[in-house]
Amino acid sequence: MGIGWNFRYAALGFCLLTSMAMGQDNLLDDAKSLFSPIPKDPPVLNSNPATAEKVELGKMLFFEPRLSESHNISCNTCHQIGFGGADGRPTSIGHNWQHGGRNAPTVLNSVFNIAQFWDGRAADLMEQAGGPIANPIEMGSTPARAVDQLKGIPGYVDAFRKAFPEEIDPLSYNNIGKAIAVFEATLTTPNAPFDRYLEGDEKALTVEEKKGLALFMGKGCASCHSGVNVGGGMYAPFGVVEKPGGDFLPPADEGRKRVTGELQDQYVFKVPSLRNVELTAPYFHSGRAWDLDEVVAAMGTAQLGTRLAPEDVSSIVAFLRTLTGEQPQVTYPALPPSVATTPRPAP
């Protein structure tokens, strides 16, 4: 992998440099070759077709606190849909007020990411959804208890039957993940000013924002942050040129090395999507940076070995703000009531 990303990085940097050296001034064409707009319709997931019943069930489960041992924490606790799909904290507070080690990434547009989690340890949204429910410091339950909990709520028995009509035992842990995944796939944010620009509306960006876009491509940010999610498509070390201080990169979290066991993956993380980035402070997997200007400057030195001038940082940040799209309009679901025999919350 080390060689893979280095090569890609060098090749793309070279292309950008040549096109700039040749004096080409077609910003829109360059942008179109590196990025694509968020599709207007939610993407279709492999072997997990979305039906209205399944999406509705997934929405209920996303907001369902009874999936946690305390009946107090839902997915939406740490990924608040009205708050950029994140929780605005350095690290989240989970079961029994425990803190995890990493910042909660947004769930918005996460369907477009190459894999899930900062270290990519879950292949897709379905696999991901099983993680937090059974994580002792997040929702604190287990797969078996989560299934028993929902089986004890008649409304869910019914809803799983309707969402998975062909199955003999529709209320399974696997299907909890499937339903949540199809709902999450609807949490996309199309029509950002940058999307309208990519679709050909040259007035969608101001002069300052276009300058920021040109710098973003010209300085090499786009060699890692590209594609539909302006990131989310590859892994890279945090500190390619200059290792950031222990504040942003605490030494104990070795990133993807924990997943692959490979030394070359030490301090390698999934390149985060920059979609809606102005809504999702604090930043980095450590959640230690609050100021987007500071983050952009740190990327310049850590990833590119460039000390960006303050006015260039401002232009890049102005461009990053054009990545804020239309936020999902979600009607809060009515959750089915517990009955006398429904399992109770842990004390």
Catalytically annotated residues: 138
Helices (H) and strands (E) in the chain, counts: 13, 2
Q: Is 100 in the site for ligand HEC (CB under 6 A)?
A: yes
Interacting residues with ligand HEC between 248 and 307 (CB under 6 A): 269, 271-272, 274, 277, 280, 283-285, 295-296, 299-300, 303-304
DSSP 294-346: HHHHHHHHHHH-----HHHHHHHHHHHHTT--PPP--PPPPPPPP-TTSPPPP
Interacting residues with ligand HEC between 63 and 82 (CB under 6 A): 73, 75, 77-79
Task: Give the shortest CB-28-to-ligand HEC separation in angstroms.
Answer: 20
Q: Indicate which single residue of 84, 90, 105, 325 sits in contact with ligand HEC (rule: CB under 6 A).
A: 105
Nearer to ligand HEC, 203 or 233 (CB): 233
Q: Indicate which single residue of 204, 316, 318, 323 sits in contact with ligand HEC (rule: CB under 6 A).
A: 316
What phi and psi, each to the nearest 5 degrees, are found at residue 289? -115, 130
In 3D space, the residue among 60, 178, 56, 86 whose CA is nearest the CA of residue 128 turns out to be 178
Containing 196, the helix (H) or strand (E) segment is helix 193-198
Nearer to ligand HEC, 9 or 35 (CB): 9
First CA to last CA across the chain, in angstroms? 46
Q: Indicate which single residue of 84, 116, 126, 276 sits in contact with ligand HEC (rule: CB under 6 A).
A: 116
Q: Is 229 in the site for ligand HEC (CB under 6 A)?
A: no
In 3D space, the residue among 175, 103, 96, 107 whose CA is nearest the CA of residue 136 turns out to be 96
Return the SS3 of 2. helix
Q: Is 54 in the site for ligand HEC (CB under 6 A)?
A: no
Span of 30-38, 39-47, 115-123, 331-339 interacting with ligand HEC by CB under 6 A:
115-123
Rounded CA-CA distance 30/89 in Å is 36
Q: Indicate which single residue of 118, 160, 164, 194 sits in contact with ligand HEC (rule: CB under 6 A).
A: 118
The contact pattern for ligand HEC, residues 159-188, with x = CB under 6 A and - = no contact, is ---------------------x--------
Neighbours of 39 (CB within 10 A): 12
Q: Is 146 in the site for ligand HEC (CB under 6 A)?
A: no
Q: Is 219 in the site for ligand HEC (CB under 6 A)?
A: yes
DSSP 201-260: -GGGS-HHHHHHHHHHHHTTGGGTS-TTTTS-S-EEES-SSSPPPTTTS-TT--BTHHHH
Nearer to ligand HEC, 233 or 336 (CB): 233
SS3 of 128-147: HHHHHHHCCCCCCCCHHHHH
- Which stretches of the chain bind ligand HEC, using CB under 6 A? 9, 73, 75, 77-79, 92, 94, 100, 102, 104-105, 107, 110, 113, 116-118, 125, 128-129, 132-133, 138-139, 180, 216, 219-221, 223-225, 236, 238, 240, 269, 271-272, 274, 277, 280, 283-285, 295-296, 299-300, 303-304, 316
